[in-house]
A = this chain, B = another copy of it.
Amino acid sequence: MSLTLGELAVRFGCGLHGDPDVRVDSVAALSNAHPGSVTFLANPRHRPRLAGTRASAVVLEASAVAECPVAALVAVNPHATFARIAALLHPRPAAPPGIHPSALVSPEARVDPEAHIGAFVSIGPRTVIGPRAVIGPHCVVEDGVEIAEDVHLVARVTVCHNVKIGARTLVHPGAVIGSDGFGFAREGERWLKVPQVGGVVIGADVEIGANTTIDRGAIGDTVLADGVKLDNHIQIGHNCVIGAHTAMAAHVGVSGSVTIGQRCMLAGKVGVVGHLTICDDVTVTGYTMVSHSIRHPGVYSGGIPAEDARTWRRLVGRFKRLDSLVRRVAAVERATGTRSTVHQGEDDD
């Protein structure tokens, strides 16, 4: 696919500084671009790299035009405009409609004639596959599943029974949707399985990363609202409800029955204890253990940056002797009469 800058400017509503007849056919990174490519500048810290770019055009904000040595496509949100240009220049290869001869589709399933069912796919009874959905090779779709239009299961995705997936949702290889939640009743020293009889309801425009798992509800459903974006290796426990446009990075773990609001962002390796509620517009930074509900929008943290090992060992030693340090401070306070009433009884046992 090759387009002129003039065509791009018109299609995406950009101002254009430069020759509208220049053709581009690919996207590239700012520092590593080649003629014929489009790149972008969104982060102001990267502005010094602009001068050296070899791209044919850069998508950027109006304030950066003067520094741009090549053609500029001016946009209010350069990253978003770049994403759209990239999608246009690098379309996913179309999957032809129809059912691959090696696929096994239950006669009780209903597959839209425009859907693509790939090699070695198995589809269970009472499952419905919508228009233009792409079920990539080696996917397992059990019974009673509803897959809406334009859903794309890339390959080797498992969708267990009675799961619903909304339009345009994209699921990467190895993801498992609708596995049993981790529910047991203790009886003596044994664990007795509690049947997991709920389902999973996934909204539209969701993305689910490679090898991510989403457990079905114990009773009732696990829910991912529209626009949720999950990276790889994420665990969503049974009966969680994740609000619209919330994004989570790799290795996040959300225990059972957690409710998370809209537009939240959970960074890598965040964990959320079961049965908590997190309100809308909360950001949690990496490695944080969320062990209480969060009721106010904002940023929350719990990870400690690395140190060289020797320094770290000393600090951990200090930390582990904090009791002793507090007692020592209390002793000098008593000796000097400096103890203010606000500390009384707080910290010196």
Interface size on A, residues (CB 8 A): 137
The verdict on A291 contacting B302 (CB below 8 Å), with A82-B194, A182-B250, A332-B332 known, is: no
Interfacial chain B residues near A155, Cβ < 8 Å: 140, 142, 158, 160
Listed stretches A5-13, A14-22, A62-70, A306-314; interface member:
A306-314
- Do the beta carbons of B80 and A185 come within 8 Å of each other? yes
- In the complex, whether A289 has a CB less than 8 A from a CB of chain B is yes
Listed stretches A107-115, A127-135, A231-239; interface member:
A231-239
- Do the beta carbons of B322 and A328 come within 8 Å of each other? no
Q: Can you tell how many copies of this chain the complex includes?
A: 3
Instruction: A84 to B218: give the CA distance in the assembly, Å.
Output: 14
Instruction: A27 to B231: give the CA distance in the assembly, Å.
Output: 33
Identify 22 residue pairs between A and B in the complex whose beta-carbon atoms are under 8 Å apart, listed by A's number: A26-B197, A28-B219, A79-B185, A79-B194, A158-B210, A170-B193, A173-B176, A179-B210, A182-B232, A189-B227, A191-B245, A233-B233, A253-B269, A271-B286, A285-B309, A287-B289, A289-B306, A307-B320, A318-B322, A328-B338, A329-B329, A329-B332
Q: Within A228-260, which residues are at the interface with B (CB < 8 Å)?
A: 229, 231-233, 235, 237, 244-245, 247, 249-251, 253, 255
**Measuring CB to CB, which residues of chain A are less than 8 angstroms from any residue of chain B?**
26-29, 32, 42, 77, 79-80, 82-84, 86-87, 90, 92-93, 102, 104, 118-120, 122, 136-138, 140, 142-143, 154-156, 158, 160, 170, 172-174, 176, 179-180, 182, 184-187, 189-195, 197, 205, 207, 209-211, 213, 215, 218-220, 227, 229, 231-233, 235, 237, 244-245, 247, 249-251, 253, 255, 262-263, 268-269, 271, 273, 284-292, 294, 298-310, 312-316, 318-326, 328-329, 331-340, 343, 346-347
